[in-house]
Amino acid sequence: FGEGARRAKEAGFDAVEIHGTHGYIINEFLSPYSNKREDEYGKDFEGRLRLALEVLQRIKEKAGNEFPVIYRINGDECVEGGITLEVTKRIARRLEEAGADAFHVTAGVGESSYNSVQPMAMPRGCKAHLAQGVKQVVNVPIISAGRINHPEVAEEILEQNKADFVAMGRTLLCDQEMPNKALEGEIDDIRVCIACNQKCINKLLGAEQEPIGCALNVRTGREAEFPMTKVDKKKKVLIVGAGPAGLEAARVAALRGHRVDLFEKEERIGGQINLISSVPGREEFKEVISYYQSQIPKLGINLVLNHPVSAEEIEGMSPDVVIFATGATPLLPDLPGIDSPRVVSAWDVIRGECALGERVVVLGGGSVGACTVDSLRKLGKKVTIVEMLEDIALDMEPLTKKLFIKELTSDGKVKIWTGTRATEISEEGVVVERGWEKILLGDIDNVVLALGATSNKDLIDKLAGKLRNYHIVGDAKKPRKVTEAVEEGFEAAYRI
């Protein structure tokens, strides 16, 4: 640590930060949850504190007492028997005495990692109270972190004197110009991080260890690959569908200098984002729609709503390029009893378009089915979820899933059947198979289908062979997540 700080100083850095949180080595020594040693580096508070003090002392020895050292400290490990805010206050006072020049306050360890990188279900600025607690007992600057994704959130933390500075990570992956836009008053132009974690933390923690990016900003980490310059030849671009893929395609095509017509059959833009953003805990998705709503008029995009454009119209407009972003619809399996009036789609449930009884079986345990179950649970329904695979929500980002499953199973209202396949919907209930066993899930009022989606390709099929240049993006290509939709929309438009 000391040599690292010395080299950083010699390289021209103005300060270093000790990472003493999130379950890393110094945090492990500090915590009674993880430190079970019986020697001078454990046993009691003083022993557990020893390594942190020695690290700080060595840095000061090697880099000089005047070289600033920020200590990133765990305000609350959020595990039973771990460091709490009151313990952190004691630690902070001792570290300040030893020469810490500022504290960067965070939370969580591996077992409670959703407190370290908070998913969208957690409130904005949700860890600022920890920074405030530390600020009350020390006399050095305090930095607050955790879901600070908007200038208003940052300003509120500072105005309420909870911290002296705010730290942003994912926020700046989503929009690197956010501070400059805030400074210039261009708030509507900020692409707000929704804490979906799909392309940042998910990539970092995934088995492939891929480079991180941003689900909403394709250029993050790829700026050199996609310089946002104007094209030499302006083209007439027609985009069908104003979901995330179509919206991003329209934005990029317009930025590059093309003339863009964007057709949407519904009365509003957003596609399935309107669906997911109505689910409790997923409201942040509304920010995606807000961003595109602000950009469409500024970029001169011709948006036509309530207009299911026909194949004949498209041919008549003679576009240079057509981008099909026609989305998907719920998949209806070939299952006996599927036509029963008791059977509804998860999409209709989420939209609030159907009334359900008290006892509900949800078929399909992907993220759509799991979120539907959670919504019904919060309404007081008794819900059973049936999933063929070994677990539910396997397509959900790991940190989001960890918090989600904890809450889903917290009250015992949800029964989870994994490794189970529905074979029939009858008057008596739902017949399922688990291994060689057939089981009747009876005494139910409704069955909700969340078995995936199928691409809308009718319009594409009608125009096959009639268009010179076209692209299929998003769920129209293959039903997936918003990150693939945005990326495909971006790349299709950029290549024009």
The model carries a pTM of 0.94
pLDDT digits (tens, 9 = 90+) for 307-366: 999 999 999 999 999 999 999 999 999 999 999 999 999 999 999 999 999 999 999 999
SS3 491: helix
Residue 24 falls in the annotated catalytic set: yes
Let me know if domain 343-451 sits in CATH 3.40.50.280: no
CB-based contact 22:115 (threshold 8 Å)? no
Spatial separation of the C-alpha atoms in residues 444 and 306, rounded to whole Å: 38
pLDDT digits (tens, 9 = 90+) for 406-442: 999 999 989 999 999 999 999 999 999 999 999 999 9
Count other C-beta atoms under 10 Å from residue 312's C-beta: 10
DSSP at 484: H
**350: enclosing H helix or E strand:** helix 346-351
Largest CA distance in the chain: 82
The predicted pLDDT at position 204 comes to 85
| Residues in CB range of 213: below 8 A, 6 or more apart | 173, 199, 200, 203, 220, 221, 222
Annotated catalytic residue, options 24, 71, 291, 494: 24
The predicted pLDDT at position 206 comes to 74
Q: Where are the beta strands (DSSP E) in 327-436?
A: 328-330, 343-345, 359-363, 382-386, 414-417, 421-425, 429-434
| Residues in CB range of 201: below 8 A, 6 or more apart | 117, 170, 212, 397, 398, 399
Spatial separation of the C-alpha atoms in residues 362 and 63, rounded to whole Å: 60
The domain limits of the chain are 2-168, 236-329+454-494, 343-451
- For 2-168, CATH number out of 3.90.1660.10, 3.40.50.2000, 3.40.50.2300, 3.20.20.70 equals 3.20.20.70
β-strand 421-425 against 302-304: which pairing, if any? unpaired
Encoding tokens for residue 4? 């690292």
Phi and psi at residue 244, in whole multiples of 5°?
-60, -40
Phi and psi at residue 389, in whole multiples of 5°?
-80, 180
Phi and psi at residue 351, in whole multiples of 5°?
-70, -15
Encoding tokens for residue 311? 């194949």
* Residue ranges in the chain modelled with pLDDT below 70: 207-208
Spatial separation of the C-alpha atoms in residues 51 and 95, rounded to whole Å: 11
- For 236-329+454-494, CATH number out of 3.40.50.10260, 3.40.50.720, 2.160.20.10, 3.40.50.20 equals 3.40.50.720
pLDDT digits (tens, 9 = 90+) for 210-247: 899 999 999 999 999 999 999 999 999 999 999 999 99
DSSP at 210: P
